Amino acid sequence: EEEEASPSLSSEGEQQRRRAVRLAVVEYELGVNHTDTQECSAGEEHLAKCLQLLERHRLARDCVSLYIQAQNNLGILWSERNDIKTAQTYLESAEALYNQYMKENGNPPFDSSEHFMTEETLSDQERSKRFEKVYTHTLYYLAQVYQHLEMTEKAAQYCHTTLKRQLEYSGYYPIEWALNAAILSQYYLTKQCFMESRHCLAAASVIIGQAEQMPSGEDNESEQDQQDLQQKKAEIARCWIKYCLNLLQGARKLLEDNIGELDPDRQVELRAQQEKEEDEKEKERKKAVLFGTSDLCDSILAMEEKVSCVFSLDFKEAREVFLVGQNYVNEAKEFFQVDGYVTDHIEIVQDHSALFKVLAFFEEDFERCCKMHKRRIDMLEPLYSGLNPQYYLLLCRQLQFELADTYYEMMDLKVAIGNKLEELDSHTVKKINSLAQMAMKFYELFLDSLRNPDKIFPETLEEDVLRPAMVAKFHIARLYGKLITADGKKQLENMQTSLEYYSFLVDYCEKHPDTVQAIETELELSKEMVGLLPARMERLKVKLSTFT
| pLDDT for 213 | 82
Say how many CA atoms lie within 13 Å of 39 toward its Cβ: 11
Gyration radius from the chain CA atoms? 33
| pLDDT for 101 | 95
52-60 own/partner pairs: CB under 8 Å, 24+ apart? 53/20, 53/21, 53/23, 53/24, 53/27, 54/20, 54/21, 54/24, 57/17, 57/20, 57/21, 58/97, 59/97, 59/100, 59/101, 59/104, 59/105
Three-class secondary structure of residue 284 per DSSP: helix
List, for the chain, all residue ranges whose pLDDT scores fall below the cut of 70: 1-10, 118-120, 215-221, 279-290, 292-294, 547-548
- Separation of alpha carbons 25 and 113, rounded Å: 8
How far separated are the first and last CA of the chain, in Å rounded? 136
Query: Positive or negative, the Cα torsion across 219, 225, 231, 235?
Result: negative
| pLDDT for 261 | 81
243-277 burial string, b = 16+ CB within 10 Å, else e? Answer: bbbbbbebbbeebeeeeeebeeeeeeebeeeeeee
DSSP codes joined into one string, 464-505: HHHHHHHHHHHHHHHHHHH---S-HHHHHHHHHHHHHHHHHH
- Separation of alpha carbons 425 and 412, rounded Å: 16
- Separation of alpha carbons 472 and 448, rounded Å: 11
| pLDDT for 9 | 46
Structural domains for the chain = 11-114+123-172 (1.25.40.10)
| pLDDT for 285 | 58
pTM value is 0.85
* DSSP code for 457: P
Under a CB-based contact definition with an 8 Å cutoff, are residues 324 and 307 in contact? Answer: yes
- Separation of alpha carbons 491 and 545, rounded Å: 14
| pLDDT for 279 | 62
